[in-house]
Structures are given as structure tokens and as C-alpha cells.
């Protein structure tokens, strides 16, 4: 066609669902720069299905088809009434009623014969496009009188008068020469304006109306793009172009900027919402670029499908085919025997069974193929019949089928020749605990397909999608104990959330909060900006089982529970969580200092579940005490002893106590400043320090138990029980003993400090010791922790770790650091 370039725009049923949609389509067309437009429309949303329902009713002799026609007319009447002037609407509905009369006659004939052949079905189902395009033609033409309108004429073009097809095994085949001749006879080479074209329908070589099958209107757009020699084709839908994955299953799926024709075909074959491969063929033949756009957000980025896309993405999309069964033919008699595969697939072809994927090992000992699950039984029977002789003779051992499967496909032209793509796919699946049943990859390296359990399909999709940075690396997070430390942790996470997402594509998605009084669960994630309000408003009672099930849902590959409590009851759940695939991060010392039998169970659960258990904050809050100990041991150093001040509370008490004030007075002051636990006896008992020694001892490989630690408690005898107020009231009665001890040490130039000591032999002590005034432990900040490692390397000059070892901010910081460390273990590139 001569003149300025043509552009073809196709709008699907959702784009012409009602009057507002028609207006939206018109506004989009008004913005186009070319003066030659081909506008292909589908039927109004749902109309084609309604027409097919009428045919089914007529076949069942159900007179309900008459009221069904009334409903369809009412819908078009309503749209016409909103869009057209009364006289134009009347003229349009007169045409509609003539069509309706024809349809009623045909349906009455179907009712009498109780049968509707394909020609009847094609004829009836094609009326939706006729009605939508006539309506839009009248509307778009009438706008020239009231609004700024595109130049040129607006003309309705009946595709039945242009497109001639012949149906074959692969669907409708366009008779191009005849179709071009017909178009030339109806549209002049110098035509300028807008052609409103019926989608979906055509004529066969006998002159009988037919349809173009699945995604027929897309096919129509591609056909007219080729016939008009268009510069580009635009497919308008209800999504923002082609996405990297199904957004219903991968909420963070991103738009793909551009695809090659081959990439688009691969994705469409494996179930992605892309233009159907067959419908692209006419455009591919002439290398006409295809744009996929959103009618409802035309300003959003679109996806370009073309011959040579410019895109930095190696992987363009990840998708799945559900309801798959895997058929496996296995036998030693197959090895080296030509024609086995031909017989297998020939038998399946004869029975009309679709083979979706093929996989065969180089040994030729077995061949497996994926088939639709609803064809599995027929496939097994067919193959057993085809190989009955070999089965009876033992040359083939088995024909088996596994029904509950799905196929995951990773697609991208950029994967070709790049080492490590397959490793990333299988590494991600392995990390998420997804078993791979079969693998297929073509020589083009454009597609890697794996067969996975159906129940793990969404989890597989998300974890592989995340590993290729098409979405944020998502970690499902549950926080137990959003109190003092937990609250600060959530504040720290909120402050860094945007940066982590932007710079590292890391999405720490808090999906659950639990306290002793209530619980808050969220599928898409709790808002960290208003979590306190939402949590307070929650009426859900705390339920650890339900909480863990929600955080550990299997479609999210990375799951972690952060326990910010000091609860022994919560700690008892760690082995179950770890064994089920949920990672644990905690400052809670109860699990790692529990009886040795439980500790061993905990470690075994972590190994069996392939999970991570991080607890740096159990000793020294945010100080790298445990990591330092591990680094020393893992690099071959021998740790001979560890000693330190492990309690910020006790560090404060002995730093401040100088004999001028009573010890009990300083305890009360520390409590008022928030340096102690609500009950100061929890600090003064020394049990907290003892638990930290047990944790460090077990890190050294010792089988240390609480009974092995010699603990000096600063809680006077007789004051262990009773209320906090009673304890604080009676504590001054014991000040004399502490003062005497202090004066005795001072007289020798010593200071008192509460120290925990541990040797490689397992000797563990906790209590008050006298130290030289120049000792490292004697000169620390008020609430500092200080830990001294004596090793084979650090012998004459021991390694010291020192800093704030208590307080919500530093403890939360240690927990947050463990969470980020876990994310790095799981693949986030921090």
C-alpha cells in the first residue's frame, strides 16, 4: 500500500467491555501520529462466550437461548445509548435486530435437529465482533462533529470479505494471494483514515464464514498488519505488556522491555500471557514489530516483540505449565535399538496425545515425556499396547506415570553461550528444596525446562524468578516479640527497606507478628510504617502453629522466624521450624543453653532441614563475639580460654560502685534507667552470664551443661522469691557484705568486676573477681561488654572484642545483621 505507513491496533474484549472502554479506545487512537490506522476489535467482553452458550442451549432444546439473546441486546443497547446520538443508535440497533432475527432462525433449526456443526458455531460466535466494530465505527465517526478527531474517513471493514483461510492440522492457513487481491479491491492504495476491522472472523475457501480459533483477534491483527504492510502492530490488553512471570503468583513480576519473536513464542507455549505463537506468524514473516500495551494505562511502559530486540536481560521470563504428567518408558532392551523413540511418539500421535516435553539420557535406557495430566491414563495404555511384546519378553521393564507435576520454563535468547545460567536455575531450586524430575534444553539454549512437583510449582517459580533478579529476593519474615527489642528491630528494618530493595533487590517481607497477647498475619506483608497501629487493632489470638505455617508457606522459598523473646517455650519450637525449612534468627539464649539432648536435637534439625540458625545476638548483643570465635576455630587456631564481662547490667553496677553509695541504691538507680531486666534478680543471679558461657563453650565443641558452671549469685539468700518491690526493700540489709568486699579489694589496689571464665578443658566460672586497676576489664565504658580470647595465635597479646553489649538498639542491630547475613546465604548479593 502506498502513502504514509499503516499502524494496526487491536483491542481485546476487556478493552471494549462498556461505554467507558469505547471512549478510552477512541482517546488512544486520537493520540496516534500516523493518518492510516487499522483498528481490529474483539467482541465486547464475554459476548462470544454468551453466544456459544446459546448454541449449547439450542442443542439441548432449551428455549433459554431467546432470553439470552435479549440480554446480549440489552447490553449493546446500553452502550449505544451512552455513546451515540438517538438517531444513530436507532440505526445501529436496527442492524442488530436484523442479525438477531437471523440468529434466532438458525438456533431454532439447531433446536429441531439437536445438533450444531462447526459452521453453525463459527457463524453464531462471530457476531460479537460484527456488533462491536459497527458500534465503534458509528461512535468514532460521530466524534468528528463534537471533538477534535483524527483526519480522514472512518470505514467499517468486514474481514469476511477480505481474509480467506483453509483449515488444516495446524489450524487456519491464510490464502495470502486471494486475501491481498480482495483487500486491494476494497481499500485503495491511497486510502487515508481509519479502518475499523472485525477480528476473529474470516471466510474459508468455499466462501463459508469461519473463525480464526484461539486468540483469533490477535491473529486478525497480525494478518491485516501483513496485508497492509504495516510499520507496526499494537496489541492492547488489560496488563502492562509482557511480564517476567504471572503476577498472581509472583507479586514482584516486572515488565519486560523487549522480546524476540522466538522468546515470545517460547513463553506463550509454556503458558505465559503473551500473544499466541501462531498469531504472530504473519508479522514475523515481514518482521513487523509488535507492541503489547495496556488499554487502561497507556502511559505505562509497553513490551516490544521484534526480530532484534535491544535488552540487557539474559532471561526474559519464567513461566509454568500446570496439570502435567510424566510418562517414563524404561528397559535395558532399548539400548542401541533404533526406532524406539519413533515408535513411542508415533503411538502417542496416533491417539492424539500431546507431548509437551521430551527428556532422554545418553544411555538410551529410558525415555520420558510430559503429557497433559488428563491424557495420562490413555497415554499409559497406548504405550503399553505399542510395546506389549517387549514388556512380555522383559526387554522393557516398565511403563510408569507420575501425575502430580508441572513444568517450569526459563526463557531468554541472552542465555546462549553464558556459563552458569543452568547452575543458577538448579541452585535456586535446590536451595528452595524443590526436586527436579526431568530436564530439557534445546541446542539454541533459549529455553531451560524442568519438571517439578505440582505442589512446589509456585515456590519453584518464585525462587528461580528471584535468582535472576527479575524480582526482589523475597524473604518471608515472622517476628515473635515485637516489644522492646522487636520494636527497634522493625524500626531499623523500615529505615533500610527502600535501600535494600533498590540496591540489592532484597525484599524482607514481614508477613507475621506475634506477642503473648495477639497475632497479625499478612499475605503481602505488614506495613512497617504503621505496623504498631495494625498490630494493636488485630483481634487474632496468638497461635505459634498457625504463625509458623503462615510464615513458612511453601510458595515463598525463603522463610525465617525471628524470636526476640527470652521465652523457653518459644525456643522449644526451633527444631520443628528448622526441620520444616524455616530459618531461625534469635537473641534468645534458652535454646543454645538448654540441656545437651535438646541442643543436639536442634543441630540435627538444622542439618536435616538444610536451614540456617543464627544467634550472634545471644552473646554480646551486636558485638561479633560468636563470629569471632568461629573464625578462630575454622581457621585452625586453638582457643585456650575465653573470659569477659558479659553483662551490661553488671558492668554498669561495678563501674559505678565506688563505696560512696550503697550497692542496693545503685541497683535501684540502674533499674530506673532501664539498664536491668524488669526484675533485677534476673541480672544479679548470674544465670544470664552462665548461659552465655554455655553457648560459647558449645561453640568450642564442649558438651557444657548448666550444672558444669560454677555461678556466684548476687541475689542474697532468702530474697530469691517474693515480689520485686519486696526484694528491693530488703536488699539494703545486705549492703555491708558488698562494701566490705569492695574495701578489701581497694586496699590491695584492686577493683571488683563480675566476670565469666571458660577454659578449653571445660572449666566454667561466673562471679565477682578482683582485678588490677590497669586490667582491660577495669577500664571500660559504663555498660560495655568485653571478651578476651586467648589462643595459640593470640597468646602473649590476647584478642579483645569490646563495645556496648546491652540495650535495644545494639541488640536489634545484631539481630538485623544476622538477618542480612542469612539473606546473603540465601543468594542476595549484599
| Residue whose entry in the numeric block shows the C-alpha cell 439437536 | 114
Residue 587: phi and psi, rounded to 5, are -100, 5
Residues 6+ apart with CB under 8 A from 307: 260, 261, 284, 287
CA atoms within 13 A on the CB side of 202: 28
- Cβ burial of 137 (10 Å; 0-12, 13-18, 19+) is buried
Kindly provide the b/e burial profile for residues 88-120, where b requires at least 16 CB atoms within 10 angstroms of the residue's own CB.
Answer: bbeebbeebeeebeebeebbeebbeeeebeeeb
Query: Cβ distance 564 to 487 under 8 Å?
Result: no
**Which member of 45, 424, 671, 692 is catalytic?**
692
Rounded Cα–Cα distance for residues 714 and 537 (Å): 42
Cell numbers linked to 639: 582457643
Cell numbers linked to 302: 509497553
Residue 100: phi and psi, rounded to 5, are -60, -40
Query: Cβ distance 311 to 411 under 8 Å?
Result: no
| CA 134 to centroid of chain Cα atoms | 43
Rounded Cα–Cα distance for residues 247 and 263 (Å): 19
Rounded Cα–Cα distance for residues 23 and 645 (Å): 75
Distances (CA, A) of 465 to 253, 527, 623: 8, 24, 35
Query: Cβ distance 794 to 644 under 8 Å?
Result: no
Mind giving me the DSSP string for 57-125?
HHHTT-THHHHHHHHHHHHHHHHHHHHS-HHHHHHHHHHHHHHHHHHHHHHHHHHHHT---HHHHHHHH
Alpha helices, DSSP H, located in 610-647: 625-634
Residues 6+ apart with CB under 8 A from 37: 6, 7, 8, 9, 29, 150, 193, 194, 195
Rounded Cα–Cα distance for residues 161 and 198 (Å): 10
Rounded Cα–Cα distance for residues 82 and 828 (Å): 54
Please report which helix (H) or strand (E) contains residue 262, including its range.
Answer: helix 261-269
Q: Are strands 232-237 and 290-294 parallel, antiparallel or unpaired?
A: parallel
CA trace torsion 382, 387, 391, 392 (10° rounding): 100
- State whether residue 796 is helix, strand or coil: coil
Query: Cβ distance 752 to 745 under 8 Å?
Result: yes
What sign results for the dihedral spanned by CA atoms 469, 472, 476, 482? Answer: positive
Residue 242: phi and psi, rounded to 5, are -95, 130
- Please report, for the chain, how many H helices and E strands are present, in that order: 29, 30
Query: Cβ distance 34 to 230 under 8 Å?
Result: no
Cell numbers linked to 710: 560454677
- State whether residue 425 is helix, strand or coil: helix
- 739 carries an active-site annotation: no
What sign results for the dihedral spanned by CA atoms 563, 569, 571, 575? Answer: negative
Rounded Cα–Cα distance for residues 798 and 441 (Å): 57
Cell numbers linked to 584: 531461625
Catalytic residues: 692
Amino acid at each position: 500500500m502506498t502513502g504514509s505507513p499503516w499502524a494496526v491496533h487491536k483491542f481485546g474484549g476487556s478493552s471494549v467491555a462498556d461505554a467507558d472502554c469505547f471512549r478510552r479506545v477512541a482517546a488512544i487512537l486520537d493520540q496516534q501520529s500516523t493518518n492510516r490506522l487499522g483498528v481490529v476489535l474483539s467482541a465486547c467482553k464475554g459476548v462470544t462466550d454468551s453466544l456459544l452458550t446459546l448454541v449449547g442451549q439450542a442443542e439441548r432444546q432449551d428455549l433459554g437461548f431467546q432470553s439470552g439473546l435479549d440480554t446480549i441486546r440489552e447490553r449493546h443497547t446500553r452502550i449505544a445509548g451512552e455513546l451515540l446520538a438517538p438517531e444513530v443508535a436507532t440505526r445501529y440497533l436496527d442492524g442488530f435486530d436484523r442479525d438477531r432475527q437471523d440468529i434466532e432462525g438458525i438456533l431454532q433449526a439447531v433446536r429441531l435437529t439437536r445438533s450444531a456443526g462447526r459452521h453453525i458455531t463459527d457463524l453464531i460466535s462471530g457476531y460479537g465482533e460484527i456488533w462491536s466494530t459497527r458500534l465503534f465505527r458509528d461512535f468514532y465517526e460521530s466524534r468528528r462533529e463534537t471533538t477534535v478527531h483524527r483526519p480522514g474517513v472512518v470505514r467499517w471493514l468486514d474481514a469476511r470479505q477480505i481474509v480467506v483461510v483453509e483449515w488444516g492440522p495446524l489450524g487456519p492457513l491464510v490464502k495470502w494471494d486471494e486475501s491481498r487481491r480482495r483487500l486491494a479491491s476494497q481499500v485503495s492504495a491511497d486510502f487515508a483514515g481509519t479502518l475499523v476491522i472485525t477480528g476473529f472472523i474470516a471466510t474459508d475457501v468455499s466462501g463459508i464464514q469461519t473463525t480464526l480459533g484461539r486468540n483469533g483477534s490477535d491473529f486478525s491483527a497480525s494478518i491485516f498488519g501483513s496485508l497492509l504492510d504495516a510499520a507496526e502492530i499494537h496489541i492492547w490488553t488489560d496488563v502492562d505488556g509482557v511480564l517476567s512471570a504471572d503476577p498472581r503468583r509472583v507479586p514482584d513480576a516486572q515488565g519486560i522491555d523487549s522480546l524476540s519473536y522466538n522468546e515470545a513464542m517460547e513463553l506463550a507455549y509454556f503458558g505465559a500471557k503473551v500473544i499466541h505463537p501462531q498469531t504472530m506468524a504473519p508479522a514475523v514473516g515481514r518482521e513487523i514489530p509488535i507492541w503489547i500495551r495496556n488499554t487502561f494505562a497507556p502511559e505505562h511502559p509497553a513490551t516490544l516483540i521484534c526480530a532484534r530486540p535491544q535488552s540487557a536481560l539474559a532471561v526474559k521470563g519464567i513461566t509454568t505449565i500446570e496439570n502435567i504428567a510424566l510418562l517414563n518408558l524404561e528397559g535395558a532392551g532399548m539400548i542401541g535399538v533404533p526406532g524406539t523413540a519413533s515408535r513411542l511418539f508415533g503411538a502417542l500421535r496416533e491417539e492424539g496425545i500431546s507431548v509437551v516435553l521430551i527428556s532422554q539420557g545418553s544411555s538410551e535406557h529410558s525415555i520420558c515425556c510430559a503429557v497433559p495430566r488428563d491424557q495420562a491414563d490413555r497415554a499409559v495404555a497406548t504405550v503399553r499396547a505399542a510395546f506389549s511384546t517387549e514388556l512380555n519378553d522383559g526387554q522393557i521393564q516398565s511403563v510408569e506415570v507420575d501425575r502430580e507435576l508441572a513444568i517450569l520454563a526459563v526463557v531468554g535468547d541472552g542465555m546462549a553461550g553464558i556459563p552458569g545460567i543452568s547452575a543458577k536455575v538448579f541452585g535456586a531450586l535446590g536451595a528452595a528444596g524443590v526436586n527436579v524430575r526431568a530436564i530439557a534444553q534445546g541446542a539454541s539454549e533459549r529455553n531451560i525446562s524442568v519438571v517439578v512437583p505440582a505442589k512446589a510449582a509456585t515456590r519453584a517459580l518464585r525462587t528461580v524468578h528471584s535468582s535472576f533478579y527479575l524480582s526482589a529476593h523475597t524473604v518471608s519474615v515472622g517476628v515473635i516479640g515485637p516489644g522492646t527489642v522487636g520494636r527497634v528491630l522493625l524500626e531499623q528494618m523500615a529505615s533500610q527497606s527502600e535501600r535494600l530493595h533498590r540496591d540489592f533487590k532484597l525484599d524482607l517481607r514481614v508477613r507475621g507478628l506475634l506477642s503473648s497477647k495477639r497475632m497479625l498475619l499478612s499475605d503481602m506483608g505488614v506495613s512497617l510504617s504503621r505496623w504498631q497501629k495494625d498490630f494493636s487493632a488485630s483481634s487474632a489470638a496468638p497461635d505459634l502453629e498457625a504463625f509458623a505455617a503462615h510464615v513458612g508457606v511453601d510458595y515463598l522459598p525463603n522463610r525465617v522466624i525471628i524470636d526476640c523473646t527470652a521465652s523457653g517455650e518459644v525456643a522449644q519450637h526451633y527444631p520443628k521450624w528448622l526441620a520444616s525449612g524455616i530459618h531461625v534468627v534469635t537473641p534468645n539464649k534458652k535454646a543454645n543453653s538448654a540441656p545437651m539432648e535438646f541442643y543436639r536435637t536442634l543441630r540435627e534439625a538444622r542439618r536435616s532441614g538444610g536451614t540456617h540458625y543464627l544467634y550472634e545476638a545471644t552473646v554480646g548483643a551486636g558485638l561479633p563475639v560468636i563470629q569471632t570465635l568461629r573464625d578462630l576455630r575454622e581457621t585452625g587456631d586453638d582457643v585456650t580460654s575465653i573470659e569477659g564481662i558479659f553483662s551490661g547490667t553488671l558492668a554498669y553496677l561495678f563501674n559505678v560502685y565506688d563505696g560512696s553509695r550503697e550497692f542496693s541504691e545503685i541497683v535501684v538507680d540502674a533499674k530506673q534507667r532501664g539498664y536491668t531486666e524488669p526484675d533485677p534478680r534476673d541480672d544479679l543471679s548470674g544465670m544470664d552470664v552462665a548461659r552465655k558461657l554455655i553457648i560459647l563453650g558449645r561453640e568450642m565443641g564442649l558438651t557444657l551443661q548448666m550444672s558444669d558452671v560454677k555461678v556466684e549469685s548476687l541475689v542474697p539468700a532468702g530474697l530469691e522469691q517474693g515480689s520485686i518491690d519486696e526484694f528491693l526493700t530488703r536488699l539494703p540489709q545486705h549492703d555491708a557484705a558488698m562494701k566490705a568486699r569492695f574495701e578489701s579489694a581497694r586496699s590491695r589496689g584492686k577493683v571488683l568486676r563480675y566476670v565469666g571464665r571458660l577454659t578449653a578443658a571445660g572449666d566454667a566460672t561466673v562471679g565477682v573477681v578482683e582485678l588490677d586497676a590497669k586490667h582491660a576489664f577495669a577500664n571500660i565504658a559504663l555498660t560495655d561488654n568485653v571478651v578476651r580470647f586467648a589462643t595459640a595465635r593470640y597468646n602473649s597479646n590476647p584478642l579483645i572484642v569490646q563495645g556496648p553489649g546491652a540495650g535495644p538498639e545494639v541488640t536489634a542491630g545484631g539481630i538485623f545483621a544476622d538477618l542480612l547475613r542469612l539473606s546473603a546465604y540465601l543468594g542476595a548479593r549484599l
